[in-house]
């Protein structure tokens, strides 16, 4: 049995420091004492609130999918757009990879994420525990790729650009999409991952009793006795998914709680991240040089690159949207590529400088990284809606494929990089 002292010991996922986690009270948070990573959030202990909100989000997502989002009218012709219209438009124009990306990020993954989250939270409420660890691991992995809120902002940008040239109205599906996104974001603020993990039994351990599962912390498994008293892991391995400290585990063995493969550090983290960043830099040039969207108005074709798209928003005095698109499409991808290069070089040089700042910066680029997809979503909505032949038409451009590739490569790079390598390196000096 784990002792009370062992129960609260955790290894920070960002810097690897083993420390004792205090019992976090309502509205309090606990941060890593070395890198300030949030270890326990203000939503600790909640299950009913995220369950109810996720259910509301799923129920609102159904009308958002089946009802039309927007309608446009131009010179007597009208057109309505569903969530799937843009995806079909991209596919029709020969941009199958983009259609798959938009379909997965904005349609398939939100449904999958919400349905799986509701199933796991409901199963916890009902006392079932089998396979929940594996299911919740996949839910956490899916989160960065589920981009309903980013698609909604993309719809706002597309709506604002369309209003300049045609009459456009928000329909029932559009309002439902706003409701679904709001409920989803609220559900995420109420979801505390550690609460869920600590309610799950370890493989071979007896399941927790239903009535007490919220009050109890870690159950029956000798998980952290192997951790060194100096804040190092000692003989233990920290699971990077559920943050469990597993004593005397062999690298390559499955985590007893979430079944993720245990490693002291992510395998090949440095090499794979370096390769992804190099590929990202190479694609960044065509992503910005080639047109991402071509707009036809009364026979006149106007090809927009990412930067000219921003300039057009500024020209039309849509300052807040111009700022959002500029930050998301130009600043964030560059920050991610340069930031990861800085972190890789500093790791290579075993640098001690600015370790906390580097780790904080990594968390920032990891959090904001998926917002770069806004331009892809704006293009999908415009391509779906603006199809009035020679009067007004929108076509996707080759730059959009390169741009989407940059965003996805950098998102994978932040997943493959292991920030603990930065903290390990100076120790070898």
| Nearer Cβ to Zn ion (178/356) | 356
Decide: 234 and 12 in contact? Cβ < 8 Å: no
| Nearer Cβ to Zn ion (70/196) | 196
| Nearer Cβ to Zn ion (117/277) | 117
Q: With binding defined as CB under 5 A, does residue 238 bind Zn ion?
A: no
User: Applying CB under 5 A, which of residues 257, 336, 358, 395 lies at the interface with Zn ion?
Assistant: 257
Least separation, in Å, of the C-beta of 198 and Zn ion? 12
Least separation, in Å, of the C-beta of 269 and Zn ion? 17
Task: Tell me, rounded to whole angstroms, the distance of Cα 101 from its chain centroid.
Answer: 14
Q: With binding defined as CB under 5 A, does residue 258 bind Zn ion?
A: yes
**Cross-strand partners of 71:** 80, 169
User: Applying CB under 5 A, which of residues 2, 8, 32, 227 lies at the interface with Zn ion?
Assistant: 32
Task: Candidates 35-43, 219-227, 306-314, 377-385: pick the segment binding Zn ion (CB under 5 A).
Answer: 35-43
DSSP string, 61-127: HHHHHHS--EEEEETTEEEEE-TTHHHHHHHHTT-HHHHHHHHIIIIIHHHHHHHHHHHHHHHHHHT
The set of residues, in sequence order, having a beta carbon less than 8 Å from that of 213 and lying 6+ positions away, is 124, 127, 199
Q: With binding defined as CB under 5 A, does residue 15 bind Zn ion?
A: yes
Q: With binding defined as CB under 5 A, does residue 355 bind Zn ion?
A: no
User: Applying CB under 5 A, which of residues 242, 249, 392, 422 lies at the interface with Zn ion?
Assistant: 242
Task: Candidates 70-78, 260-268, 320-328, 379-387: pick the segment binding Zn ion (CB under 5 A).
Answer: 260-268
| Nearer Cβ to Zn ion (9/37) | 37
Task: Tell me, rounded to whole angstroms, the distance of Cα 124 from its chain centroid.
Answer: 24
Task: Tell me, rounded to whole angstroms, the distance of Cα 266 from its chain centroid.
Answer: 19
User: Applying CB under 5 A, which of residues 10, 18, 37, 124 lies at the interface with Zn ion?
Assistant: 37
Distance separating alpha carbons of residues 218 and 252, to the nearest angstrom = 23
| Nearer Cβ to Zn ion (35/51) | 35
Burial of 270 by CB count in 10 Å (0-12 exposed, 13-18 middle, 19+ buried)?
A: middle
| Nearer Cβ to Zn ion (12/365) | 12
User: Applying CB under 5 A, which of residues 34, 225, 264, 363 lies at the interface with Zn ion?
Assistant: 34
Distance separating alpha carbons of residues 325 and 371, to the nearest angstrom = 9
| Nearer Cβ to Zn ion (18/344) | 18
Least separation, in Å, of the C-beta of 115 and Zn ion? 22
DSSP state of 316: T
Decide: 341 and 254 in contact? Cβ < 8 Å: no
Classified as helix, coil or strand, 363 is: helix
Q: With binding defined as CB under 5 A, does residue 12 bind Zn ion?
A: yes
Least separation, in Å, of the C-beta of 404 and Zn ion? 31
Helices 374-385 + 319-326 axis angle, to 10: 120
Distance separating alpha carbons of residues 269 and 137, to the nearest angstrom = 20
| Nearer Cβ to Zn ion (255/402) | 255
User: Applying CB under 5 A, which of residues 6, 181, 241, 304 lies at the interface with Zn ion?
Assistant: 241
* Total chain residues near Zn ion (CB under 5 A): 15
Instruction: Give the footprint of Zn ion on this chain (CB under 5 A).
Output: 12, 14-15, 32, 34-35, 37, 239, 241-242, 244, 255, 257-258, 260
């Amino acid at each position: 049995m784990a002792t009370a002292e062992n129960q609260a010991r955790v290894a920070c996922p960002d810097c690897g420091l083993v420390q004792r986690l205090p019992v976090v009270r309502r509205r309090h948070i606990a941060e890593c004492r070395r890198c300030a990573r949030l270890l326990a959030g203000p939503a600790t202990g909640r299950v009913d609130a995220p369950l109810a909100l996720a259910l509301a989000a799923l129920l609102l997502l159904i009308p958002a999918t089946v009802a039309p989002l927007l309608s446009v009218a131009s010179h007597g012709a009208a057109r309505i757009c569903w969530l799937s219209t843009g995806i079909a438009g991209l596919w029709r124009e020969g941009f199958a990879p983009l259609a798959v990306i938009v379909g997965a990020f904005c349609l398939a993954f939100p449904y999958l994420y919400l349905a799986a989250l509701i199933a796991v939270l409901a199963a916890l409420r009902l006392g079932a525990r089998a396979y929940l660890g594996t299911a919740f691991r996949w839910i956490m992995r899916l989160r960065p790729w589920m981009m309903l809120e980013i698609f909604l902002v993309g719809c706002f940008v597309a709506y604002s650009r369309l209003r300049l040239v045609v009459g456009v109205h928000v329909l029932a599906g559009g309002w439902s999409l706003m409701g679904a996104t709001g409920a989803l974001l609220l559900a995420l603020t109420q979801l505390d991952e550690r609460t869920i993990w600590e309610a799950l039994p370890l493989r071979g351990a007896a399941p927790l009793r239903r009535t007490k599962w919220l009050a109890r912390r870690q159950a029956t498994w000798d998980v952290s006795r192997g951790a060194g008293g100096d804040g190092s892991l000692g003989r233990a391995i920290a699971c990077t998914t559920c943050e469990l400290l597993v004593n005397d585990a062999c690298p390559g063995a499955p985590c007893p709680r979430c079944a993720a493969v245990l490693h002291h550090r992510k395998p090949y983290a440095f090499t794979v991240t370096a390769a992804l960043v190099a590929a990202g830099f190479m694609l960044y040039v065509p992503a910005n040089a080639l047109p991402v969207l071509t707009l036809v108005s009364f026979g006149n074709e106007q090809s927009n690159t990412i930067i000219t798209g921003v300039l057009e928003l500024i020209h039309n005095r849509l300052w807040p949207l111009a700022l959002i698109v500029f930050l998301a499409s130009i600043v964030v991808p560059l920050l991610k590529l340069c930031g990861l290069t800085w972190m890789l070089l500093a790791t290579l040089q075993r640098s001690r400088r600015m370790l906390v700042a580097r780790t904080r910066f990594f968390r920032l680029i990891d959090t904001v990284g998926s917002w770069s997809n806004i331009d892809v979503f704006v293009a999908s909505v415009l391509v779906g809606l603006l199809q009035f032949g020679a009067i007004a038409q929108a076509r996707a451009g080759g730059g959009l494929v390169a741009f989407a590739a940059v965003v996805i490569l950098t998102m994978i790079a932040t997943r493959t990089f292991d920030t603990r390598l930065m903290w390990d390196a100076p120790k070898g000096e």
